[in-house]
Structure 1
Amino acid sequence: MSTSQSGNYGRRKHYIPLESNPDVFTELIHTLGVSSSLAFQDVYSLDDPDLLSLVPRPVLGLILIFPAMEDYDKVLEDDKKTRQAYTGKGEDEPVIWFEQTIGNACGLYALLHCICNGPAKQYLKPDSTMSNLLKKCVPLDPTGRALVLEGSEEVEYAHTHAGKSGHTVAPDPTDDVGHHYVAFVTSSMQTGEVYEMDGMKQGPLKTDVTLEEGEDLLGEAGQKLVKNFIEREQGRSIGFSLMALVKTD
């Protein structure tokens, strides 16, 4: 995997990559101040009704993990050629997006995009690390947000602990890793619009999916969106996994 994909090239700071483990992600969001009513859970299939039925509903966010080999650089370059860099800020944004400026932290950015957007945002505890960080970041453009996130000792400490708590040996923060994380979230404006959130791209990407009232991200439209993403990337790589942010009570 190239250094630009892993987020290492020219980065001021690097984090231990998170293991794609829902327990690790759940521990991290709780440490950051998300209510214990939310948790991440593996989605084992998008085709098997029995396996889909194991996922509690509604699903508030999705994180897709996929092998990002060197061809993913071309995806990022094409994005730069076709879209201007996002400069949105303030309460009127349909979504809150963070540019990835911390090396090997794509899991963190996907997690942040899930808990800071759509209905999940309502589960941030007052005066928690995440709610305080969001108050600082919302009025700022992506550059300002990046500096706030890089400077957060609380986030760095929580991430470091989570990075070491997986089932596998934690890699070095500057190692090249072979996977990338993207999130799928709904607009905070309650319009049902679904966005692809990748901190390595130019900004949030509004998809052509709008959820109907009562439909969640793991409904038919959301499943199709994720399947299309996987089919698009399968020509370059194999080995995908999916986690859902769900209510546990």
Structure 2
Amino acid sequence: MAHSARSAQAAGPCVAMEWCTIESDPAVFTELTERLGLETQMEIGEVFSMEDVESQADCAGFILLFRYDKGTMRPSSSSSVGVADDPSVFFCKQTVENACGTIALLHVLLNAEGVRPGPKLTNFLEFASSMPEAELRGEILGMSDDIRKAHNSFARSEPFMSEEKGSSEGGEAFHFVAYVPKNGALYELDGLQRGPIRLEAVPESAPTASGAAAATSAAAAAGAEPAASWLPAARRAVEERMARYSGTGEIRFTLLSVKGSRLHAAKRRLGQASARLAVAQQVLSSGGGSTARANAMGAFPQALLGAGWAPEPTLGALETQVAELEVAARAAKAEVDELQAERAAWAAENERRKHNWVPFAIALLEECHRAGKLDSMVEKGNERARELVRQEMERESAKKAKAASPSSAAPSASS
């Protein structure tokens, strides 16, 4: 989206059994996904425009963050069925404060095709799914130590204890909901609703998280039209939700996509290119021949080399193949290095989010005081604050004057 609501979801302090607020950032949600435990390698990305929604070919589902407003919390008006009675759709109500981000993430991960939960999430899913009521499933989630600890791993450490409740009381609140396709329908999964909201029918052949990218590439290579997708329906649902704030000036939305890990996919491509290169080089150095080919290919699993792949039969073609594989391996290695650097940057960002900066701020103020600079810094800050207030008052006065102007109330004679 063009404007993010991240600042409204900055991580805050929490105590033992409470759930902290978390930031709507890909780095945060990707680490949260890893901490929850999945057998399928997943990551979270941010979608910056509605036009980009339909290009998320490997997306398993979306998570939307928006400002909470009771007037906008009704189910999507595009719903033709309403609350769905489909036991295969996992849904739990939000029964604990600040848990909506993790609930939305779990609603995608535990419903998306091709996403395999790890042992801990599998145990939670089996136990929670045995409960007939969504509220009971929400209570089970709220009491899950594993899920709460993963969620609260982003809590900021605090040197002071406050008797005030660390919630959004008196301030703005933001909320997460999920959109995920399942069983030929697009669902809106909102922990504040009674159940899953079936929005509209979508193609049964919707791509899964694990196979969408490969399927799309194969279709393009064959010159075929890509399979019909659920993504246009998701775009309509998100746009309808955002349109409820039309006329309010609200622009703080964040849309996250839950998709297969780019790093994991790049490592697989690197492994395959490296294995193929090793086979082709060994055959070439041996002068070709069926025995050399069999020995070289036997050193690697066929699944790694790829079904149907084999070194070229002639030495000339084999030399060309080796050169092409060297280029492919270098490109895959560069992609892996780039994505690993991105993950390292994400890890550093998350550590800074969790860090307690109060001692640093106190030490900095003490040094400024000892250097005789603190008073002038405070005065400069106050001057800047007064200037900002003055500018805001001028803008408000200009708006009121324009609204009261006769020319703004009626069209001109030439119009």
- Contact preservation (8 Å) 1:38, 1:245: yes
Task: Tell me the SS of whatever aligns to 2:153.
Answer: helix
Structure with greater helix percent: 2
CA 220–112 in structure 1, closer or farther in 2 if over 3 Å, else same: same
Q: Which residues in structure 2 correspond to 1:193-204 (within 5 Å)?
A: 193-204=185-196
Is 1:97 the equivalent of 2:91? Answer: yes
Q: Which amino acid aligns with 2:245?
A: E
The reply on whether 1:239 has 2:258 as its aligned counterpart is no
Residue 181 of structure 1 is matched in structure 2 by: 176
Deviation at 1:220, TM superposition (A): 2.4
8 Å Cα contact 1:60/1:216 also seen in 2: no
Match of 2:241 among 223, 229, 234: 229
* Aligned with residue 117 of structure 2, among 116, 124, 129: 124
Q: How does 1:44-83 map to 2 (within 5 A)?
A: 44-47=48-51, 55=56, 57-68=57-68, 72-76=69-73
**Retained in 2: the 8 A contact 1:39–1:247?**
yes
What letter is aligned with 1:73?
K
Counterpart amino acid of 1:101? T
Partner of 2:405: none
Change in Cα spacing, 1:204 to 1:87, as seen in structure 2 (3 Å) is: closer
Tell me what 2:211 maps to: none
Q: Which residue of 2 aligns with 1:161?
A: 153
Using CA pairs below 8 Å that are at least 6 residues apart, which structure has the higher relative contact order?
A: 1
Change (3 A) 1:164 1:194: farther
- Report the alpha carbon displacement of residue 32 of structure 1 after superposing the two structures with TM: 1.0
- Structure 1 residue 116: Cα displacement: 0.9
Among 24, 30, 42, the residue aligned to 2:28? 24
Instruction: Name the CA shift for 1:153/1:75 in 2 (closer, same or farther; >3 Å).
Output: same
SS in 1 for 2:113: helix
Q: 1:178 to 1:146 in 2, by over 3 A?
A: closer
2:284 — aligned with what? none
Query: How far has the Cα of 1:75 moved from its partner?
Result: 4.0
Structure 1 residues 163, 115: CA separation in 2 closer, same or farther (over 3 Å shift)?
farther
Structure 1 CA distance for aligned equivalents of residues 156 and 123 of structure 2: 25
Secondary structure of residue in 2 paired with 1:233: coil
The 1:209–1:131 alpha-carbon spacing in structure 2 relative to 1, beyond 3 Å, is same
- Alpha-carbon distance change, 37 to 48 in structure 1, aligned in 2, over 3 angstroms: closer
Determine the structure 2 residue equivalent to 1:3: none
Give 1:238 shift: 2.7
CA distance in 1 between counterparts of 2:247 and 2:92 reads 28
Gap runs ≥5 in structure 2: 1-16, 76-81, 158-164, 206-226, 266-415
CA-CA distance at 1:175 after TM superposition:
3.2
| CA shift in 2, pair 1:193/1:155, >3 Å | same
CA distance in 2, matches of 1:108, 1:135: 18
Is it true that 1:136 corresponds to 2:133 in the alignment?
no
2:102 alignment counterpart? 108
Unaligned runs of 5+ in 1: 1-12, 80-84, 166-171
Deviation at 1:136, TM superposition (A): 0.6
Greater per-residue strand proportion: 1
CA distance in 2, matches of 1:44, 1:25: 16
Larger radius of gyration: 2
Q: Deviations over 1:39-77 (max 9, x none)?
A: 11001111269xx75x5x321010011112xxx22344x
Give the AA of the match of 2:122: S
Question: Could you tell me how far 1:212 is from its partner in structure 2?
Answer: 5.3
Conservation of the 8 A alpha-carbon contact between 2:104 and 2:189: yes
SS in 1 for 2:50: coil
Partners of 2:50 and 2:105 in 1: how far apart? Answer: 21
Q: How does 1:1-20 map to 2 (within 5 A)?
A: 14-20=18-24
- Mapped partners of 2:88, 2:191: distance in 1: 16
| Residues 201 and 14 (structure 1), Cα distance of their counterparts in 2 relative to 1, 3 Å cut | farther
